[in-house]
Structure 1
Amino acid sequence: MKLLKNEKGITLVELLVSIVILSMILITTMSFFPQMGLLNNQNKVKTQGINTAKEILLKWQNDSRLETFFTTPNGGIIPEYTGIIGNDYNFETVDSNYFVNIKIKISPSMTSGIYNAHLIVIKLYKNDKRDILISKTYGYVKVRR
């Protein structure tokens, strides 16, 4: 009779209940890790796209061929890009990672005594798919009058 009254251990039911509760907590916690990995990957792609767009903007702002281009826009001065002339100047190219669309406003957005500043919009799309916009950057290119 003394053995039946000894309650120092745990029962099988208590053990199973604790395992089930612990499993539920672990499963809930583990579901966050793939979501965090996916979010980190998306942020990485966005950051790389923003940096690439800013690099392209700097290249266009410092390109000496732009002055010649604005005086003779049909001259094909910028061979790396396919030009599309319409209301604004549109240029397109396929980078190794992105489809790049560049639009320069024909009429100057700002003028001074020496320079005209034209609005430039750079859009990066994912792998030649124009429906997935990665980054969009605005800036100005200045051209001597």
Structure 2
Amino acid sequence: MERWRVQNNERGLTLVEILASLVILGIVFVGFMTVFPQMTNFNEKTGSKLETMNLARLELEEYKKPKFISDFTESGDYVDENNHWVKVKEASNGSGKIKYIVDKEPVLTSDGISGQVNLHKFSLEIIENSKIISETFGYVEVNY
């Protein structure tokens, strides 16, 4: 007879069981909802970083176009600082300052061979609120 009672128990869920399941679902839902603002903040920072990286890349390409003189301090824009030529200017998009750094000593020398150029390491930093946001480097030709 006891077996018959177990098979016929189709009363459904009690109010306590429904409320408990709703509380558990609510806790899980709130846990997931805290992730969304963090993802939005992360995406915003990533977008800002990509913008500054693209600005740095474009500035580097513009910098490489013309041929340069052997002494950057002659142009008046550069300052001789710790074995580097340094120039700081405002960014074209208004997002801070751009710092150009050219090593005085070439990385690759021509070793006196005519027609060869010396390659100097060139670094570019984008600075906003006294903090380096993006940084890139390349090599520029300096004819002596």
How would you bin the TM-score normalised by the shorter chain?
Answer: 0.7 to 0.9
Find runs of 4+ consecutive structure 1 residues off by over 6 angstroms.
Answer: none
Q: Where do residues 47-126 of structure 1 align in structure 2 (5 Å cutoff)? A: 47-64=50-67, 66-67=68-69, 70-71=70-71, 73-76=73-76, 82-86=77-81, 87-95=83-91, 96-112=94-110, 113=113, 114-126=116-128
Alpha-carbon spacing, 1:73–1:135, altered in 2? closer, same or farther (3 Å): same
CA drift at 1:84: 2.3
CA drift at 1:107: 1.8
Greater share of strand: 1
1:19-47: CA deviations, max 9, x gaps?
A: 10010110011111111111111111111
Within 1, Cα distance between the matches of 2:100 and 2:72? Answer: 18
Within 2, Cα distance between the matches of 1:72 and 1:24? Answer: 63
Instruction: Give the share of equivalent positions with the same residue, in percent.
Output: 28
1:118-140: CA deviations, max 9, x gaps?
A: 111111122xx22x221111111
Secondary structure at 1:110's aligned position in 2? coil
**Of residues 15, 30, 45 in structure 2, which corresponds to 1:42?**
45
1:138 maps onto 2:137 in alignment: yes
Unaligned 5+ runs, structure 2: 1-7
Would you say how many aligned residue pairs link Structure 1 and Structure 2? 130
CA drift at 1:98: 2.6
Secondary structure at 2:63's aligned position in 1? helix
Alpha-carbon spacing, 1:72–1:19, altered in 2? closer, same or farther (3 Å): closer
Q: Which has the larger radius of gyration?
A: 2
